Structure 1
Protein backbone atom coordinates (compact mmCIF):
# COMPACT_ATOMS: atom_id res chain seq x y z
CA UNK A 1 0.00 0.00 0.00
CA UNK A 2 1.23 3.47 -0.93
CA UNK A 3 0.46 6.47 1.27
CA UNK A 4 -0.55 9.54 -0.75
CA UNK A 5 -0.64 12.81 1.12
CA UNK A 6 -2.71 15.28 -0.90
CA UNK A 7 -3.46 19.00 -0.62
CA UNK A 8 0.12 20.17 -0.26
CA UNK A 9 -1.11 23.47 -1.68
CA UNK A 10 -3.16 24.03 1.50
CA UNK A 11 -0.62 23.21 4.23
CA UNK A 12 2.80 24.50 5.23
CA UNK A 13 5.77 22.31 4.34
CA UNK A 14 6.65 21.94 8.02
CA UNK A 15 3.27 20.27 8.60
CA UNK A 16 3.83 17.55 6.00
CA UNK A 17 6.48 15.54 7.86
CA UNK A 18 4.44 15.08 11.06
CA UNK A 19 1.47 13.88 8.99
CA UNK A 20 3.62 11.39 7.09
CA UNK A 21 5.32 10.25 10.28
CA UNK A 22 1.98 9.74 12.03
CA UNK A 23 0.78 7.29 9.39
CA UNK A 24 4.07 5.55 8.63
CA UNK A 25 4.47 4.72 12.31
CA UNK A 26 1.12 2.90 12.25
CA UNK A 27 1.20 1.18 8.82
CA UNK A 28 3.91 -0.49 6.71
CA UNK A 29 3.59 1.60 3.52
CA UNK A 30 5.87 0.63 0.63
CA UNK A 31 6.09 4.25 -0.45
CA UNK A 32 5.03 7.75 0.50
CA UNK A 33 4.20 10.42 -2.08
CA UNK A 34 3.14 13.92 -1.07
CA UNK A 35 1.15 15.62 -3.87
CA UNK A 36 -1.11 18.51 -4.74
CA UNK A 37 -3.69 17.23 -7.20
CA UNK A 38 -5.06 20.75 -7.63
CA UNK A 39 -1.67 22.21 -8.62
CA UNK A 40 -0.55 18.94 -10.26
CA UNK A 41 2.54 18.83 -8.05
CA UNK A 42 4.47 15.55 -7.83
CA UNK A 43 1.93 13.55 -9.86
CA UNK A 44 4.70 12.01 -12.00
CA UNK A 45 6.31 10.66 -8.82
CA UNK A 46 2.98 9.14 -7.79
CA UNK A 47 2.59 7.41 -11.15
CA UNK A 48 6.16 6.10 -10.98
CA UNK A 49 5.59 4.73 -7.48
CA UNK A 50 2.32 3.02 -8.44
CA UNK A 51 3.85 1.53 -11.61
CA UNK A 52 6.54 -0.19 -9.54
CA UNK A 53 3.88 -2.42 -7.99
CA UNK A 54 1.54 -3.04 -10.90
CA UNK A 55 1.97 -6.43 -12.56
CA UNK A 56 2.43 -6.58 -16.34
CA UNK A 57 -0.91 -7.55 -17.81
CA UNK A 58 -1.79 -9.37 -21.00
CA UNK A 59 -2.05 -7.40 -24.24
CA UNK A 60 -5.71 -7.62 -25.19
CA UNK A 61 -5.45 -5.98 -28.62
CA UNK A 62 -2.73 -4.85 -31.05
CA UNK A 63 -0.41 -2.00 -30.06
CA UNK A 64 -1.65 0.32 -32.79
CA UNK A 65 -5.26 -0.10 -31.66
CA UNK A 66 -6.32 2.60 -29.20
CA UNK A 67 -9.47 0.88 -27.93
CA UNK A 68 -11.62 -2.17 -28.49
CA UNK A 69 -14.83 -0.11 -28.46
CA UNK A 70 -16.58 0.83 -31.72
CA UNK A 71 -15.97 4.43 -32.81
CA UNK A 72 -19.71 5.19 -32.73
CA UNK A 73 -19.86 4.29 -29.04
CA UNK A 74 -16.86 6.47 -28.23
CA UNK A 75 -18.29 9.39 -30.21
CA UNK A 76 -21.58 9.06 -28.31
CA UNK A 77 -19.74 9.02 -24.99
CA UNK A 78 -17.68 12.09 -25.91
CA UNK A 79 -20.86 14.05 -26.73
CA UNK A 80 -22.52 12.79 -23.52
CA UNK A 81 -19.46 13.72 -21.45
CA UNK A 82 -19.49 17.32 -22.73
CA UNK A 83 -23.25 17.65 -22.21
CA UNK A 84 -22.92 16.40 -18.63
CA UNK A 85 -19.94 18.64 -17.90
CA UNK A 86 -21.74 21.74 -19.09
CA UNK A 87 -25.11 20.95 -17.44
CA UNK A 88 -24.07 18.85 -14.46
CA UNK A 89 -26.27 20.60 -11.89
CA UNK A 90 -29.26 21.06 -14.16
CA UNK A 91 -29.52 17.72 -16.02
CA UNK A 92 -27.96 15.14 -13.69
CA UNK A 93 -27.26 11.96 -15.69
CA UNK A 94 -30.56 12.11 -17.58
CA UNK A 95 -28.68 12.20 -20.88
CA UNK A 96 -28.15 9.48 -23.47
CA UNK A 97 -26.60 9.92 -26.91
CA UNK A 98 -27.25 7.87 -30.01
CA UNK A 99 -25.12 8.28 -33.14
CA UNK A 100 -27.67 8.14 -35.94
CA UNK A 101 -25.24 8.51 -38.84
CA UNK A 102 -21.47 8.53 -39.22
CA UNK A 103 -19.87 8.58 -42.64
CA UNK A 104 -16.74 9.76 -44.41
CA UNK A 105 -17.29 12.47 -47.00
CA UNK A 106 -15.53 12.65 -50.37
CA UNK A 107 -13.29 15.49 -49.09
CA UNK A 108 -11.99 13.30 -46.21
CA UNK A 109 -14.10 14.95 -43.50
CA UNK A 110 -16.42 12.90 -41.32
CA UNK A 111 -20.11 13.71 -41.00
CA UNK A 112 -21.73 12.69 -37.71
CA UNK A 113 -25.40 13.15 -36.81
CA UNK A 114 -26.17 12.37 -33.19
CA UNK A 115 -29.25 12.72 -31.04
CA UNK A 116 -29.04 13.66 -27.38
CA UNK A 117 -31.98 12.19 -25.46
CA UNK A 118 -33.37 13.64 -22.25
CA UNK A 119 -36.41 12.72 -20.17
CA UNK A 120 -38.25 16.06 -19.95
CA UNK A 121 -38.96 19.13 -22.05
CA UNK A 122 -37.28 21.34 -19.43
CA UNK A 123 -34.05 19.34 -19.83
CA UNK A 124 -34.28 19.77 -23.60
CA UNK A 125 -34.47 23.52 -23.15
CA UNK A 126 -31.42 23.50 -20.88
CA UNK A 127 -29.37 21.46 -23.36
CA UNK A 128 -30.29 23.72 -26.26
CA UNK A 129 -29.80 26.92 -24.29
CA UNK A 130 -30.64 30.47 -25.29
CA UNK A 131 -30.61 30.67 -29.09
CA UNK A 132 -28.86 27.29 -29.21
CA UNK A 133 -25.82 28.49 -27.26
CA UNK A 134 -25.49 25.45 -24.98
CA UNK A 135 -25.88 22.96 -27.82
CA UNK A 136 -23.27 24.86 -29.85
CA UNK A 137 -20.82 24.71 -26.94
CA UNK A 138 -21.45 20.98 -26.40
CA UNK A 139 -20.80 20.46 -30.10
CA UNK A 140 -17.66 22.60 -30.13
CA UNK A 141 -16.07 20.75 -27.21
CA UNK A 142 -17.13 17.29 -28.40
CA UNK A 143 -16.00 17.99 -31.98
CA UNK A 144 -12.47 18.81 -30.80
CA UNK A 145 -12.18 15.47 -28.99
CA UNK A 146 -13.79 13.52 -31.85
CA UNK A 147 -11.40 15.08 -34.37
CA UNK A 148 -8.47 13.96 -32.24
CA UNK A 149 -9.93 10.45 -32.01
CA UNK A 150 -10.67 10.09 -35.72
CA UNK A 151 -7.78 12.14 -37.08
CA UNK A 152 -10.08 14.01 -39.49
CA UNK A 153 -12.14 17.17 -39.57
CA UNK A 154 -15.62 16.51 -38.26
CA UNK A 155 -18.99 18.05 -39.04
CA UNK A 156 -21.05 17.29 -35.94
CA UNK A 157 -24.81 17.67 -36.34
CA UNK A 158 -26.46 17.48 -32.90
CA UNK A 159 -30.17 17.16 -32.15
CA UNK A 160 -31.99 17.03 -28.81
CA UNK A 161 -35.11 14.93 -28.31
CA UNK A 162 -37.27 14.02 -25.34
CA UNK A 163 -37.80 10.33 -24.62
CA UNK A 164 -39.98 10.26 -21.50
CA UNK A 165 -38.55 8.25 -18.58
CA UNK A 166 -35.99 6.45 -20.76
CA UNK A 167 -33.92 5.51 -17.70
CA UNK A 168 -36.80 3.42 -16.33
CA UNK A 169 -37.26 1.29 -19.47
CA UNK A 170 -34.93 -1.69 -19.91
CA UNK A 171 -35.38 -1.92 -23.69
CA UNK A 172 -34.42 1.73 -24.12
CA UNK A 173 -31.43 1.36 -21.77
CA UNK A 174 -30.17 -1.61 -23.80
CA UNK A 175 -30.63 0.37 -27.00
CA UNK A 176 -28.38 3.09 -25.60
CA UNK A 177 -25.80 0.50 -24.53
CA UNK A 178 -26.54 0.65 -20.81
CA UNK A 179 -27.99 -2.85 -20.32
CA UNK A 180 -26.47 -6.16 -19.31
CA UNK A 181 -24.88 -8.08 -22.16
CA UNK A 182 -26.10 -11.66 -21.96
Structure 2
Protein backbone atom coordinates (compact mmCIF):
# COMPACT_ATOMS: atom_id res chain seq x y z
CA UNK A 1 0.00 0.00 0.00
CA UNK A 2 1.46 3.36 -0.99
CA UNK A 3 1.83 6.13 1.51
CA UNK A 4 -0.88 8.79 1.52
CA UNK A 5 -0.07 11.89 -0.48
CA UNK A 6 -0.28 15.15 1.45
CA UNK A 7 -0.74 18.64 0.08
CA UNK A 8 -1.27 22.05 1.57
CA UNK A 9 0.04 25.48 2.43
CA UNK A 10 2.70 26.72 4.83
CA UNK A 11 3.92 30.23 5.49
CA UNK A 12 6.98 31.64 7.19
CA UNK A 13 6.62 34.60 9.50
CA UNK A 14 9.15 36.52 11.50
CA UNK A 15 10.39 40.02 11.85
CA UNK A 16 11.99 41.58 8.79
CA UNK A 17 15.26 39.97 7.70
CA UNK A 18 14.76 36.76 9.72
CA UNK A 19 15.76 34.65 6.70
CA UNK A 20 12.25 33.73 5.46
CA UNK A 21 12.85 34.26 1.75
CA UNK A 22 16.23 32.50 1.71
CA UNK A 23 14.61 29.53 3.46
CA UNK A 24 11.78 29.47 0.90
CA UNK A 25 14.33 29.38 -1.92
CA UNK A 26 16.31 26.59 -0.20
CA UNK A 27 13.19 24.43 0.21
CA UNK A 28 11.94 25.03 -3.33
CA UNK A 29 15.45 24.64 -4.71
CA UNK A 30 15.44 27.77 -6.86
CA UNK A 31 15.31 31.52 -6.49
CA UNK A 32 11.66 32.57 -6.45
CA UNK A 33 11.41 34.82 -3.41
CA UNK A 34 13.61 37.87 -3.67
CA UNK A 35 16.34 38.03 -1.06
CA UNK A 36 18.25 41.07 0.00
CA UNK A 37 20.20 42.17 3.01
CA UNK A 38 17.67 45.01 3.34
CA UNK A 39 14.71 44.30 5.61
CA UNK A 40 11.22 44.33 4.15
CA UNK A 41 12.13 43.42 0.59
CA UNK A 42 9.24 40.98 0.26
CA UNK A 43 5.95 42.66 -0.59
CA UNK A 44 3.91 40.01 -2.36
CA UNK A 45 2.87 36.65 -0.98
CA UNK A 46 4.96 34.71 -3.50
CA UNK A 47 4.29 31.02 -3.32
CA UNK A 48 7.06 28.49 -3.74
CA UNK A 49 6.07 24.92 -4.49
CA UNK A 50 8.01 21.99 -3.04
CA UNK A 51 7.37 18.82 -5.05
CA UNK A 52 7.98 15.49 -3.29
CA UNK A 53 6.88 11.96 -4.13
CA UNK A 54 4.75 11.89 -0.99
CA UNK A 55 3.62 15.51 -0.85
CA UNK A 56 3.24 18.94 -2.35
CA UNK A 57 4.07 21.78 0.02
CA UNK A 58 3.13 25.26 -1.12
CA UNK A 59 5.03 27.99 0.72
CA UNK A 60 3.54 31.43 1.00
CA UNK A 61 6.27 33.97 1.58
CA UNK A 62 4.80 36.92 3.47
CA UNK A 63 6.26 40.36 4.19
CA UNK A 64 7.86 40.80 7.62
CA UNK A 65 5.35 41.78 10.28
CA UNK A 66 6.17 45.04 12.04
CA UNK A 67 4.47 47.94 13.80
CA UNK A 68 3.22 49.95 10.81
CA UNK A 69 4.06 53.63 10.33
CA UNK A 70 2.58 54.14 6.86
CA UNK A 71 -0.43 53.00 4.84
CA UNK A 72 1.89 50.64 2.95
CA UNK A 73 3.02 49.23 6.31
CA UNK A 74 -0.59 48.60 7.33
CA UNK A 75 -1.39 46.91 4.03
CA UNK A 76 1.67 44.67 4.35
CA UNK A 77 0.57 43.63 7.85
CA UNK A 78 -2.94 42.89 6.53
CA UNK A 79 -1.37 40.62 3.89
CA UNK A 80 0.45 38.74 6.66
CA UNK A 81 -2.60 38.24 8.86
CA UNK A 82 -4.90 37.17 6.05
CA UNK A 83 -2.26 34.66 4.94
CA UNK A 84 -1.93 33.14 8.42
CA UNK A 85 -5.63 32.42 8.56
CA UNK A 86 -5.54 30.45 5.30
CA UNK A 87 -2.54 28.11 5.70
CA UNK A 88 -2.20 24.62 7.23
CA UNK A 89 1.00 25.27 9.16
CA UNK A 90 2.99 28.39 10.12
CA UNK A 91 6.78 28.52 10.49
CA UNK A 92 7.96 31.24 12.90
CA UNK A 93 11.53 32.21 11.93
CA UNK A 94 13.97 33.63 14.47
CA UNK A 95 17.64 34.07 13.50
CA UNK A 96 20.20 32.20 15.62
CA UNK A 97 22.57 35.17 15.68
CA UNK A 98 20.19 37.68 17.31
CA UNK A 99 18.62 37.59 20.76
CA UNK A 100 14.87 36.97 20.97
CA UNK A 101 13.56 40.52 21.21
CA UNK A 102 10.37 42.58 21.50
CA UNK A 103 9.72 42.24 17.76
CA UNK A 104 9.67 38.44 18.09
CA UNK A 105 7.41 38.62 21.14
CA UNK A 106 5.01 40.91 19.29
CA UNK A 107 4.69 38.33 16.50
CA UNK A 108 4.43 35.42 18.98
CA UNK A 109 1.55 37.19 20.73
CA UNK A 110 -0.23 37.54 17.38
CA UNK A 111 0.49 33.89 16.53
CA UNK A 112 -0.84 32.71 19.90
CA UNK A 113 -4.31 33.74 18.64
CA UNK A 114 -4.19 31.15 15.84
CA UNK A 115 -1.97 28.49 17.46
CA UNK A 116 -4.99 26.56 18.76
CA UNK A 117 -6.25 25.73 15.28
CA UNK A 118 -3.08 26.09 13.17
CA UNK A 119 0.16 24.38 14.22
CA UNK A 120 3.10 26.79 14.60
CA UNK A 121 6.62 25.42 14.08
CA UNK A 122 9.52 27.37 15.64
CA UNK A 123 12.44 27.69 13.22
CA UNK A 124 15.87 28.93 14.30
CA UNK A 125 17.44 30.24 11.07
CA UNK A 126 21.04 31.17 10.12
CA UNK A 127 22.61 28.45 12.32
CA UNK A 128 25.73 28.65 10.12
CA UNK A 129 26.56 32.01 11.75
CA UNK A 130 26.85 30.76 15.35
CA UNK A 131 28.18 27.91 17.50
CA UNK A 132 26.07 24.82 18.29
CA UNK A 133 25.84 26.02 21.91
CA UNK A 134 24.32 29.30 20.79
CA UNK A 135 21.76 27.40 18.65
CA UNK A 136 20.80 25.34 21.71
CA UNK A 137 20.38 28.50 23.81
CA UNK A 138 18.17 30.04 21.14
CA UNK A 139 15.96 26.92 21.03
CA UNK A 140 15.52 27.12 24.81
CA UNK A 141 14.78 30.87 24.64
CA UNK A 142 12.13 30.25 21.97
CA UNK A 143 10.30 27.74 24.14
CA UNK A 144 9.48 30.58 26.55
CA UNK A 145 7.87 32.64 23.80
CA UNK A 146 5.16 30.28 22.53
CA UNK A 147 4.09 26.67 22.73
CA UNK A 148 5.33 25.30 19.42
CA UNK A 149 4.15 22.16 17.62
CA UNK A 150 7.83 21.53 16.72
CA UNK A 151 11.19 23.30 16.95
CA UNK A 152 13.75 22.99 14.14
CA UNK A 153 17.16 24.69 13.73
CA UNK A 154 18.14 25.21 10.07
CA UNK A 155 20.65 26.91 7.79
CA UNK A 156 19.43 27.75 4.31
CA UNK A 157 23.01 28.67 3.37
CA UNK A 158 24.69 25.31 3.98
CA UNK A 159 21.50 23.20 3.76
CA UNK A 160 21.61 22.07 7.39
CA UNK A 161 18.29 20.39 8.32
CA UNK A 162 16.41 21.88 5.35
CA UNK A 163 15.04 18.44 4.43
CA UNK A 164 14.15 17.80 8.10
CA UNK A 165 12.15 21.02 8.12
CA UNK A 166 10.45 19.93 4.91
CA UNK A 167 9.43 16.66 6.63
CA UNK A 168 8.12 18.47 9.71
CA UNK A 169 6.02 20.89 7.65
CA UNK A 170 4.69 18.10 5.40
CA UNK A 171 3.67 16.04 8.45
CA UNK A 172 1.28 18.87 9.38
CA UNK A 173 -0.48 18.96 6.00
CA UNK A 174 -3.81 17.28 5.28
CA UNK A 175 -3.96 14.30 2.94
CA UNK A 176 -4.80 15.34 -0.60
CA UNK A 177 -3.81 15.31 -4.27
CA UNK A 178 -1.31 17.59 -6.02
CA UNK A 179 -2.66 21.13 -6.21
CA UNK A 180 -0.28 22.33 -8.92
CA UNK A 181 1.23 20.65 -12.01
CA UNK A 182 4.53 18.82 -11.45
CA UNK A 183 6.89 21.33 -13.06
CA UNK A 184 5.53 24.48 -11.46
CA UNK A 185 7.70 26.19 -8.86
CA UNK A 186 5.48 29.22 -8.24
CA UNK A 187 2.04 30.42 -9.28
CA UNK A 188 3.12 34.05 -9.58
CA UNK A 189 2.78 35.41 -13.11
CA UNK A 190 6.17 35.84 -14.77
CA UNK A 191 5.65 39.61 -14.99
CA UNK A 192 5.43 39.81 -11.16
CA UNK A 193 8.62 37.79 -10.76
CA UNK A 194 10.42 39.93 -13.34
CA UNK A 195 9.38 43.12 -11.49
CA UNK A 196 10.58 41.60 -8.19
CA UNK A 197 13.97 40.67 -9.70
CA UNK A 198 14.42 44.23 -10.99
CA UNK A 199 13.46 45.63 -7.59
CA UNK A 200 15.91 43.32 -5.85
CA UNK A 201 18.73 44.45 -8.14
CA UNK A 202 17.80 48.10 -7.50
CA UNK A 203 17.88 47.54 -3.72
CA UNK A 204 21.33 45.97 -3.61
CA UNK A 205 23.89 48.53 -2.55
CA UNK A 206 21.42 51.41 -2.35
CA UNK A 207 21.72 53.33 0.88
CA UNK A 208 19.58 52.34 3.85
CA UNK A 209 17.01 55.09 3.40
CA UNK A 210 15.64 53.65 0.17
CA UNK A 211 14.31 50.10 0.63
CA UNK A 212 10.66 51.04 1.10
CA UNK A 213 10.76 53.79 -1.49
CA UNK A 214 11.36 51.61 -4.54
CA UNK A 215 8.55 50.04 -6.55
CA UNK A 216 8.80 48.48 -10.00
CA UNK A 217 6.18 48.04 -12.71
CA UNK A 218 6.73 46.09 -15.91
CA UNK A 219 5.00 48.11 -18.62
CA UNK A 220 5.53 45.67 -21.45
CA UNK A 221 7.06 42.21 -21.94
CA UNK A 222 6.96 40.91 -25.51
CA UNK A 223 8.98 38.63 -27.78
CA UNK A 224 11.08 40.65 -30.28
CA UNK A 225 9.44 40.59 -33.69
CA UNK A 226 11.09 38.13 -36.06
CA UNK A 227 13.16 36.55 -33.25
CA UNK A 228 12.11 33.68 -31.00
CA UNK A 229 15.20 33.91 -28.76
CA UNK A 230 14.77 37.47 -27.44
CA UNK A 231 12.24 39.11 -25.12
CA UNK A 232 11.91 42.90 -24.85
CA UNK A 233 11.05 44.14 -21.35
CA UNK A 234 10.19 47.77 -20.57
CA UNK A 235 10.03 48.62 -16.87
CA UNK A 236 9.72 51.65 -14.60
CA UNK A 237 11.51 51.96 -11.27
CA UNK A 238 9.53 54.33 -9.02
CA UNK A 239 10.97 56.33 -6.13
CA UNK A 240 9.24 58.88 -3.90
CA UNK A 241 11.48 61.93 -4.28
CA UNK A 242 13.72 63.49 -6.94
CA UNK A 243 16.75 63.16 -4.63
CA UNK A 244 16.19 59.37 -4.55
CA UNK A 245 16.10 59.27 -8.34
CA UNK A 246 19.70 60.51 -8.34
CA UNK A 247 20.73 57.76 -5.93
CA UNK A 248 19.21 55.01 -8.09
CA UNK A 249 20.65 56.45 -11.32
CA UNK A 250 24.14 56.91 -9.85
CA UNK A 251 26.95 58.96 -11.40
CA UNK A 252 26.16 59.38 -15.13
CA UNK A 253 23.62 56.55 -14.89
CA UNK A 254 26.27 53.97 -13.88
CA UNK A 255 24.24 52.62 -10.96
CA UNK A 256 21.12 52.01 -13.08
CA UNK A 257 23.26 50.31 -15.75
CA UNK A 258 24.57 47.93 -13.10
CA UNK A 259 21.00 47.30 -11.84
CA UNK A 260 19.95 46.48 -15.41
CA UNK A 261 22.86 44.08 -15.92
CA UNK A 262 22.23 42.25 -12.60
CA UNK A 263 18.48 42.03 -13.13
CA UNK A 264 18.86 40.87 -16.72
CA UNK A 265 21.08 37.97 -15.66
CA UNK A 266 18.44 36.68 -13.21
CA UNK A 267 15.52 37.33 -15.58
CA UNK A 268 17.24 35.39 -18.38
CA UNK A 269 17.72 32.46 -15.99
CA UNK A 270 14.04 32.66 -14.99
CA UNK A 271 12.64 32.92 -18.52
CA UNK A 272 15.25 30.73 -20.25
CA UNK A 273 15.65 33.32 -22.96
CA UNK A 274 17.81 36.30 -23.91
CA UNK A 275 16.37 39.57 -22.66
CA UNK A 276 16.57 43.21 -23.71
CA UNK A 277 15.79 45.27 -20.59
CA UNK A 278 14.81 48.92 -20.82
CA UNK A 279 14.71 50.64 -17.39
CA UNK A 280 13.48 54.15 -16.54
CA UNK A 281 13.47 55.78 -13.10
CA UNK A 282 10.38 57.84 -12.28
CA UNK A 283 9.24 59.83 -9.25
CA UNK A 284 5.82 58.99 -7.75
CA UNK A 285 5.62 61.50 -4.92
CA UNK A 286 5.08 59.84 -1.48
CA UNK A 287 3.48 56.79 -3.10
CA UNK A 288 3.60 54.77 0.15
CA UNK A 289 1.04 57.08 1.75
CA UNK A 290 -1.24 57.58 -1.23
CA UNK A 291 -4.01 54.94 -1.67
CA UNK A 292 -4.44 55.76 -5.38
CA UNK A 293 -0.76 55.33 -6.17
CA UNK A 294 -0.48 52.20 -3.99
CA UNK A 295 -3.25 50.66 -6.08
CA UNK A 296 -1.58 51.63 -9.32
CA UNK A 297 1.72 50.11 -8.20
CA UNK A 298 0.01 46.84 -7.32
CA UNK A 299 -0.49 47.05 -3.55
Instruction: Give the TM-score taking structure 2 as reference length.
Output: 0.48
Once the 2 structures are TM-superposed, how far is the Cα of residue 119 of structure 1 from its aligned partner?
1.0
1:50 corresponds to 2:50: no
Pick one of 227, 235, 249 that aligns with 1:128: 249
Aligned match of 1:109: 230
Query: For residues 125 and 58 of structure 1, what CA distance do their matches in structure 2 show?
Result: 51
Pick one of 192, 199, 203 that aligns with 1:84: 203
Structure 1 regions of 5+ residues with no counterpart? Answer: none
Aligned match of 2:261: 140
Aligned match of 2:270: 149
Q: Are 2:128 and 2:157, in contact at CA under 8 Å, matched by a contact in 1?
A: no
Aligned match of 1:95: 214
Q: Which is higher, the Rg of structure 1 or of structure 2?
A: 1
Once the 2 structures are TM-superposed, how far is the Cα of residue 9 of structure 1 from its aligned partner?
4.9
Query: For residues 69 and 39 of structure 1, what CA distance do their matches in structure 2 show?
Result: 27
Which structure would you say has the larger RCO, counting Cα contacts within 8 Å and 6 or more residues apart? Answer: 2
Instruction: Give the TM-score taking structure 1 as reference length.
Output: 0.74
Flag the 1:72–1:23 CA change in 2: closer, same or farther, 3 A. Answer: closer
1:119 corresponds to 2:273: no
**Deviation string, structure 1 residues 124-156 (Cα, Å, up to 9, x no partner):** 111111232221222122212211222210011
Once the 2 structures are TM-superposed, how far is the Cα of residue 16 of structure 1 from its aligned partner?
6.6
Q: Are 1:117 and 1:160, in contact at CA under 8 Å, matched by a contact in 2?
A: yes
Once the 2 structures are TM-superposed, how far is the Cα of residue 81 of structure 1 from its aligned partner?
2.3
Q: Are 1:112 and 1:155, in contact at CA under 8 Å, matched by a contact in 2?
A: yes
Greater Cα offset, 91-100 or 79-88: 79-88
**Deviation string, structure 1 residues 87-142 (Cα, Å, up to 9, x no partner):** 26131211121222221012220011111111111111111112322212221222
Once the 2 structures are TM-superposed, how far is the Cα of residue 65 of structure 1 from its aligned partner?
4.6
Give the alignment's Cα RMSD to 1 decimal: 3.3
Q: Are 2:197 and 2:266, in contact at CA under 8 Å, matched by a contact in 1?
A: yes
**Deviation string, structure 1 residues 70-90 (Cα, Å, up to 9, x no partner):** 332322222122222332613
Pick one of 10, 13, 16 that aligns with 2:130: 10
Query: For residues 177 and 296 of structure 2, what CA distance do their matches in structure 1 show?
Result: 31
1:69 corresponds to 2:188: yes
Larger proportion of helix: 1
